[in-house]
Amino acid sequence: MQPSSRTIELVAPAGSLAALKIALQAGADAVYLGLQNATNARNFSGLNFSEAHLRSGVELAHHMGRKVLFAINTFPQAGRVAEWRAAVDVAHSLEADAVIIADPGLLAYARDRYPDMRLHLSVQSSATHADAIEFMREQFGIRRAVLPRVLTLAEIEKLIRQTSVEIEVFGFGSLCVMAEGRCLLSSYATGESPNSHGVCSPAHAVRWHDQDGHLEARLNDILIDRYAPGEPAAYPTLCKGRFAAGIDRSTDADMADHALEEPTSLNALSLLPRLLGMGVSALKIEGRQRSPAYVGQVTATLRAALDSAQADPARFAARPEWQFSLSRHAEGSQVTQGAFERPWK
């Protein structure tokens, strides 16, 4: 049995220093993280890093021979560009291994100010074809591109053949019905775009009301979901809300359903040999807003699976205990291979 000469870097989310430590202990090759401000796309209260915690995290990762990828993946706002540039300065001063950037202007700043800095193109740039990725390489020197979760395996394989840029794909975590970087739903509901403010449902817009024993979740005045007594309630996002989607003919009552997207998680576990064979450089776990326990368990499971796939791709099989472990952390307790496999295409 000959091990595969190809490897895939396992990239884990770190929404806190505790999550970073657990991800490294669980076998992540790299972690991605951001500051406690609007420069990163998971700008939730209580998450992300102060500069002091970031310094500690980078030192620990480098001591263990691992990498830290610094997400600066929202778009700078008029009159506030200095805040985004300052985040690039912090990443460089703390010796982050790469910065993940969406905005071309910020890529230009990083290229010109720090020619030695490794640049990754964020999924928020929504680059889905080789021309776009090659253009960003030619103009800004990007070394890696994170692909949106809208491409099939065949499309990804073709793209890899057409570019010298490393390709990173998502392997597990929450899905979004929109192409990353192009969602306007939150802007409509809250007046704030996740591409500039870093969160789909900002806390100030979230409303919880008790209505005749039922818990209502709203974004401003928009009803997102209504939960029966004792029913688990999720944080409200427009794309995963339940809305009146028809009439129950037996009762003439509105039928509430997930009109846009059911809560479910991407799970590419069984596809690892194919991703490895086509030359994918990195596998990303979604979930900087999730708990350290989620980060540790998902990272450990994918670490074991990747090691097995890389040791002998031809004989790889997704073990039931791996699938069970990941299904426990799936949104809505459902998993899918998403756009990777489209039998209807």
Q: How confident is the model at residue 262 (pLDDT cuts 50, 70, 90)?
A: low
Examine the domain organization and report whether 89 and 208 are in the same domain.
Answer: no
For the chain, how far is it from start to end, CA to CA, in angstroms?
Answer: 36
- 52-98 pLDDT per residue, tens: 999 999 999 999 999 999 999 999 988 999 999 999 999 999 999 99
Examine the domain organization and report whether 122 and 213 are in the same domain.
Answer: no
- 164-181 pLDDT per residue, tens: 999 999 998 877 766 666
- pLDDT given for residue 344 in this prediction: 46
Examine the domain organization and report whether 155 and 51 are in the same domain.
Answer: yes
Q: Residue 72: how many CB atoms within 10 A of its CB? A: 28
- pLDDT given for residue 252 in this prediction: 60
Q: Are 136 and 125 in contact (CB under 8 A)?
A: yes
In a domain, 188, yes or no: no
User: Is residue 182 scored above 60 in pLDDT?
Assistant: yes
Examine the domain organization and report whether 206 and 280 are in the same domain.
Answer: no
Which CATH number fits the domain that encloses residue 86? 3.20.20.70
Q: Are 11 and 168 in contact (CB under 8 A)?
A: yes
- 274-293 pLDDT per residue, tens: 999 999 999 999 989 899 99
In a domain, 182, yes or no: no
Is the CA virtual torsion 240, 262, 147, 7 positive or negative?
positive
Q: How confident is the model at residue 190 (pLDDT cuts 50, 70, 90)?
A: confident
DSSP per-residue string spanning 40-97:
SS---TT-SB-HHHHHHHHHHHHHTT-EEEEEE-SPPPTT-HHHHHHHHHHHHHTT-S
DSSP per-residue string spanning 222-239:
EEEEEE-TT---PPP-GG
Q: How confident is the model at residue 195 (pLDDT cuts 50, 70, 90)?
A: confident
- pLDDT given for residue 5 in this prediction: 59
Number of domains making up the chain = 2
| Amino acid residing at 251 | T
Phi, psi for 263 (deg, rounded to 5): -60, 120
Region 185-209 average pLDDT: 78
Pairwise CA distance, residues 21 & 71, whole Å: 18
In a domain, 289, yes or no: yes
Examine the domain organization and report whether 167 and 219 are in the same domain.
Answer: no
- pLDDT given for residue 35 in this prediction: 95
Examine the domain organization and report whether 241 and 277 are in the same domain.
Answer: no
In terms of Cα–Cα distance, which of 2, 10, 26, 28 is closest to 311?
A: 2
Q: Give the pairing type, strands 253-257 and 243-248.
A: antiparallel
Element (H or E) spanning 197, and its range?
Answer: helix 194-197
- 109-135 pLDDT per residue, tens: 999 999 999 999 999 898 999 999 999
User: Is residue 326 scored above 80 in pLDDT?
Assistant: yes
Examine the domain organization and report whether 25 and 121 are in the same domain.
Answer: yes
211 lies in which domain range?
194-257
